[in-house]
Structure 1
């Protein structure tokens, strides 16, 4: 009998603790938005990580530092990054008269399939030139899987203009 009374009192205490927490959240301001009728401004999204993007050099310039090394694609556990690289080889004469082959890489396309991306950040961390970073744009929507394959090089060109 005493055991049942202790369990009953414990249950009542638990009920009031839960109701207190619920009441606190009931009077707090809402943090959700009713999308698409409401949107979130950039001021509340500093730590939000979404689609990766190329960083312009200098800030708001029209160039990026990507050397098309492929470290981002090799470090991706989801295998969602594909690079389209144009590679040329030229012979360079050294000061001592010897000739050396120099490989030049030019990025033609940088494709990321965000339907596969786990947003782990390994591509951003492994980039030797630090030219990748997360954007904080939250409104990525689509009706098919193909809508989530982005060419972030094309996005860079639209945003900052063609490289000179």
Structure 2
């Protein structure tokens, strides 16, 4: 009982927390952020993740489309239709940050992102709406179908032409 009464009149240690925050170390690992203007959809961050909390879907762009370049000059060739990070699964190991060739994924200093519902911990970083993503997929399928039709027509035309054979030399 003596110990209980001794701690009864001690003020709380965390009473200053919301108004006064402890400075964070420089290399602290907190919430991830993805700069989608620099993302090329290479999927290296997803493959490096040990808990598979990153899911990426891409669609190849058409030759007539110019997606621009990243901030370090790398040309973009894929539409990133889905880039989701499930922070309920994330272990904040930072293994996804290092393999990124464009350095578009990085850790921020935000550490207060608790939620009451698990579904709110699924962050969607993609800039395309589901309708736009479906449109990009349909455009690519149409382009591939036209390309296959041209190949089939060229093959049929080549098969329809009679081959002209060289006469054989009869040397004795």
TM-score normalised by structure 2 residue count:
0.51
Aligned residues: 105
Structure 2 CA distance for partners of 1:33 and 1:128, relative to 1, 3 Å? farther
Looking at structure 1, the residues matched to 32 and 107 of structure 2 have their Cα atoms a distance apart, in angstroms, of 4
Rounded to whole Å, the distance in 2 between the matches of 1:34 and 1:108 is 43
CA 142–104 in structure 1, closer or farther in 2 if over 3 Å, else same: same
Taking a change above 3 Å as real, the CA distance of residues 39 and 109 of structure 1, as seen in their structure-2 partners, is farther
Q: Which residue of 1 aligns with 2:31?
A: 51
Distance, in Å, in 2 between the alignment partners of 1:44 and 1:122 is: 20
Distance between the aligned counterparts of 1:33 and 1:120, measured in 2? 30
8 Å Cα contact 2:54-2:86 kept in structure 1: yes
**CA RMSD across the alignment:** 2.9
Cα distance in 1 between the residues matched to 2:20 and 2:110: 11
TM-score (norm 1): 0.53
- 1:68 deviates by 0.3
* Residue 21 of structure 2 corresponds to residue 40 of structure 1: yes
Give every structure 1 segment of 4 or more consecutive aligned residues whose post-TM-superposition deviation is greater than 6 Å. Answer: none
From 90, 97, 100, the counterpart of 1:124: 97
Pairwise CA distance, 1:84: 3.0
Query: Quick one: structure 1 residues 89 and 33, their matched pair in 2 at CA, closer, same or farther if it must change by over 3 Å?
Result: farther
Matching residue of 1:161: none
Is 1:81 matched up with 2:62?
A: no
Q: Residue 152 and residue 45 in structure 1: after superposition, are their counterparts in 2 closer, same or farther (change >3 A)?
A: farther
Match of 1:142 in 2: 115
Helix, strand or coil for the counterpart of 1:83? strand
Deviation at 1:39, TM superposition (A): 5.6
SS at match of 1:123: coil
User: Using the alignment, how far apart are the partners of 1:108 and 1:139 within structure 2?
Assistant: 28
C-alpha deviation, 1:46, in angstroms: 3.1
